[in-house]
Amino acid sequence: MVIREMNYLDVERVRMIAADTWRDTYTSFIPAEIQDKVLKEAYSNEAMDNRFKSSINLVAESNGVMMGYAFFSGDKDVFLESIYLHPNYQGKGVGKCLLETGLSKFKEADSISLTVYKGNRNISFYEKEGFQVVKENKSDFFGHPVTFILMKKHLHQ
């Protein structure tokens, strides 16, 4: 497996992984039409251009097949914007490698935080990696109610 910086040639594959992962993870509690709207906005050309300017974007590959990706931003307080693995590659250590590689880019970081949707079965992954729940926030996606969980991990105890 190789973890490398994402480039513009990767964008379409990242969009496909995002869509496949969203369908697999969120279909039971976020309607497909809401998922489509969120994905269209979050992975638009403009949003991706902004990520290339302001984030560290990594992809995980094996034998030329992209398995997942992660977007990180910040400096002392790192924010894990996204970490998605295609359903075929979940539970195989790919997420852990993406997380560790991303954190290695932030040598002076004190903490890393993320938000995850309540009901996401992958919350246990973050807990195993040492993240703790900070708070829950109710919000909505295009009129559909969702609850976000803010999780944080301190890097220097």
Question: What are 45-79's pLDDT values in tens digits?
Answer: 999 999 999 999 999 999 999 999 999 999 899 99
Per CATH, the number for 2-154 is 3.40.630.30
Q: Where are the domains of the chain?
A: 2-154
Contact, 87 vs 21, CB < 8 A?
A: yes
Quote the pTM value. 0.92
CA distance 1 to 144: 38
Nearest Cα neighbor of 68 from 117, 122, 119, 147 is 122
Is the pLDDT score of 141 beyond 80? no
Model pLDDT for residues 6-48, shown as the tens digit of each residue: 999 999 999 999 999 999 988 888 889 999 999 999 999 999 9
- pLDDT in the model for residue 29: 82
